[in-house]
Structure 1
């Protein structure tokens, strides 16, 4: 026991010296930050860090500690970079403007995915309190294009369902287009099987719906393996198709509003898998604005293809005490096995900690985009 106490005392002495040396090192780090700021030198110098780690690794007397030393000094360098970013970035602008509210009047044009009667139209009407002029779009990309070409003031798109997860196409479009999330809205989804007024369930041979509609009703559809399932367009578009083609063997999975709009008959109500089926919709704009009390931020970034890149990027959130609510990855078009990361987190673009984290990520990632800041719907992720 005495030997153990002696060894622990020696470790305590070593730790005391390490602490003193660490504090001295951080003082030097901040002096270097001042020099970099004055002379316009970037904080992150990956070549210098790799050279330093290589020197430390090669100078070790006991090579079995090589990996541990590289890990230790990688962390010290990451801590040093964050301290320099905090010293340099304190007053930097993220390029977004705070507004008190987003208004919609009679002349406001809102592009939404789907036909009249779609769940997306419902989200639009509820979010904007029935104001504005909605224009239906046949694809997600058409909504983005309408904003890009100033043919619409706002856009509304589905982005996530409680049972089937995220709509990956939307993530890709958010990264590609210069449009931004300004709000979100959640709609309770009640899928109904609709047919022509004279149709019965036994008449049906083909069912139309959006891919998400078919997925969210998969358990019900498995009971009818002889039915042909056809993906295409929105759920409301499927209801419109069944109505226009006037074929008694065809049915559509769509909302109550869509079925009633196109004069169809309920063949089977509430056929979705999950009892509490909900879809989250995003409201987008081509302007870099956000509501002043917004407390959620979405971003995406691309990382260097090397070990520990994501770990070090996420450390900027940890260091600034920021809570992540979602992280997903999507393959980058035209780049095999390369990925773009999408992250949602809590905070305001006006918070110094958020500014520090975002500007740090921007300088270390290959590319980074703030997708928007918005007021989250309670309990949405």
Structure 2
């Protein structure tokens, strides 16, 4: 990370009380920092790229709804690096102004991911109007500012406490193991002895079996692939970039050899980062 004596400038998607804010808190701990909040994913990546902040935190993958594809595209667009990751348990609640009841509600605000992660609950309230908003924390902030009993937001307990809202219905998510993975973004790679996870982007020849043969390098090199996401290439229909996460260390000669062989088989190859992997909250509890 940056100079330990320097006051960090860090930014995250959303606002205080958001899950992204929790990820930022966990990543940077008690370190003195100047915090910035952004309404769009692109704002965070652009701020890192332009040097307005030292690090940015954005969600990249949810265990219930999958990869957040826009972020993959933005990391490439702004030529940023992945320098860390955090896993945060997501526990969505329905929040309203004090004195409101669930019977009062007819309009709900949330980031689209929040609605998706609580789909069965909202299927039981089809008469409600669901309004996509910037983030779950910003949704809570709006409901608090509007002060209307008919409005509610999907957000966590931290947002309820921060904005003075009541929990009208707790735990409205459908997956008890619902968690989101966040990337910590920097302007360039930062590799240490603790770096044991690699994120890279590749493209392969548009021919049968090309991806199969390329991915075989990970198997034979003993590098476990933990995530694979495809993104379409602009201007090249049905051709894709593949964003891949694997266990590995760029300091390890055998991993370097595997990746060099992989690169020789690709039409595009770029390592986005080699950083310390983050364990889940369940794994953390088991270690206590």
Give the TM-score, by structure 1 length: 0.70
Counting only pairs closer than 5 Å after superposition, residues 81-230 of structure 1 correspond to structure 2 as 107-131=7-31, 132-230=33-131
Whichever structure has more strand as a proportion of its residues is: 2
Q: C-alpha separation between the residues in 1 aligned to 2:56 and 2:20?
A: 10
Q: C-alpha separation between the residues in 1 aligned to 2:66 and 2:236?
A: 24
Select the residue among 338, 344, 349 that pairs with 2:239.
338
- Give the secondary-structure state (helix, strand or coil) at the position aligned to 1:348: coil
Q: Does 1:356 align with 2:257?
A: yes
- Give the secondary-structure state (helix, strand or coil) at the position aligned to 1:270: coil
Q: Deviations over 1:179-207 (max 9, x none)?
A: 11111111111111111113111111110
Residue 147 of structure 1, CA deviation: 0.5
Q: C-alpha separation between the residues in 1 aligned to 2:245 and 2:145?
A: 42
Unaligned runs of 5+ in 1: 1-100
Residue 106 of structure 1, CA deviation: 6.8
Rg (Cα) greater in structure: 1
Residue 222 of structure 1, CA deviation: 1.2
Change (3 A) 1:264 1:220: same
Change (3 A) 1:263 1:111: same
Q: C-alpha separation between the residues in 1 aligned to 2:75 and 2:54?
A: 16
Select the residue among 155, 161, 175 that pairs with 1:274.
175
Residue 301 of structure 1, CA deviation: 0.8
Unaligned runs of 5+ in 2: 282-288
Q: C-alpha separation between the residues in 1 aligned to 2:221 and 2:22?
A: 38
Kept in 2, the 8 Å contact 1:175–1:369? The answer is no
Q: Aligned pairs, how many?
A: 280
Q: Deviations over 1:320-351 (max 9, x none)?
A: 23222222212223321111111111110011
- Give the secondary-structure state (helix, strand or coil) at the position aligned to 2:270: strand
Q: Deviations over 1:90-111 (max 9, x none)?
A: xxxxxxxxxxx56666720111
Residue 130 of structure 1, CA deviation: 3.5
Q: Does 1:240 align with 2:240?
A: no
Give the TM-score, by structure 2 length: 0.91
Residue 379 of structure 1, CA deviation: 5.7
- Give the secondary-structure state (helix, strand or coil) at the position aligned to 1:186: strand
Kept in 1, the 8 Å contact 2:11–2:37? The answer is yes
Which stretches of structure 1, 4 residues or more, deviate above 4 A after TM superposition?
Answer: 101-106
Q: C-alpha separation between the residues in 1 aligned to 2:266 and 2:113?
A: 33
Kept in 2, the 8 Å contact 1:138–1:233? The answer is yes
Q: C-alpha separation between the residues in 2 aligned to 1:194 and 1:317?
A: 45
Whichever structure has more helix as a proportion of its residues is: 1
Cα RMSD (Å): 1.8
